[in-house]
Structure 1
Amino acid sequence: MATAAFEDIAETLEFLDDWEDRYRHVIELGKAMPVLEDSFRVPAYKVEGCASQVWLRPMIRDSRVDFEGESDAMIVRGLIAILHALYSGLTPAEALAVDAFAEFDRIGLKDNLSAQRSNGLRAMITRIREIAAEAAAA
């Protein structure tokens, strides 16, 4: 299950011919994200397992998953933006049902990330799933 926002990203990436253009688009998605306040760039929100610095601040709004994110690497900010499009607005149960790796594979990003970026993506997905699981259990 993918959100409309994620499907828009998937369509755009499919339209772009080469990976340089696709990476450029992912970076632009990251640049368009709001900046995470410095007060949230703390160990409690830091995602371990990423080569770059990554913070995810979870929020449950109206029983829906949401989060803010930040990274010091532009491509990773773009990955955070894609994850936000994939998960935000879903109920915790819906978020837990999302196969993020399959969705990233479908848009061709899974196989076109370095091993370090793939590990970081896995760590971010794990953190989002933990947020959803905690909300579902509450």
Structure 2
Amino acid sequence: MSELSIAATGALQSFQQAAGWEQRARLLMQWGDRLEPLSDTERIDDNLVTGCDSKLWLLGEPRGDHWHFRGTSEARLLRGLLAVLLLRANGLRASELQRLDIADWFGQLGLSRQLSPSRANGMNAVLQRMRELASSG
């Protein structure tokens, strides 16, 4: 699997230093607040990820042979989960996205046990959409 980016490494260190779920939840909210905003023209049905309980939009573009994704959600906690997923996925090649294990990533962050089944399914749907974008690009 690919090495962690500097941003992903920084997030991992922050989450590993957090003492308990409350601090991790606060970190998630902070990371979610840092997401690059999407314009109204980007918040369209074509960019919605199916499989999420709350609306979540995702866009992806190739930059050379690497991928860059942007997105947001109406739900604050979901925005945070998306933000840390983007930290892990951005800069990967399409082949690396196919091998990305988000359960392992969220486990490293100490978030696995607090992810409800619907949120875990939503994050898996986001990763699947990333893979679809990368394979069609």
Q: Same fold (TM over 0.5)?
A: yes
Tell me the matched-pair count. 135
1:87-121 C-alpha deviation (Å, 9 max, x unpaired): 11122222222212211122221221112211111
TM-score norm. by structure 2 comes to 0.91
Please give the root-mean-square deviation of Cα atoms over the aligned residues, in Å.
1.3
Which stretches in structure 1 are left out of the alignment for 5+ residues?
Answer: none
Distance 1:110 1:126 in 2: 18
| Paired position in structure 2 for 1:130 | 132
Distance 2:24 2:50 in 1: 26
Q: Which has the higher contact order (CA 8 A, sep 6+)?
A: 2
Letter in 1 for 2:9: E
Distance 1:58 1:83 in 2: 13
Q: How many percent identity over aligned positions?
A: 31
TM-score norm. by structure 1 comes to 0.90
Which stretches in structure 2 are left out of the alignment for 5+ residues?
Answer: none
| Paired position in structure 1 for 2:55 | 53
Distance 1:116 1:81 in 2: 17
1:11-39 C-alpha deviation (Å, 9 max, x unpaired): 10010101111011011001011111110
| Shift >6 Å, 4+ stretches | none
Matches within 5 A, 1:1-138: 1=2, 2-135=4-137
Distance 1:34 1:103 in 2: 22
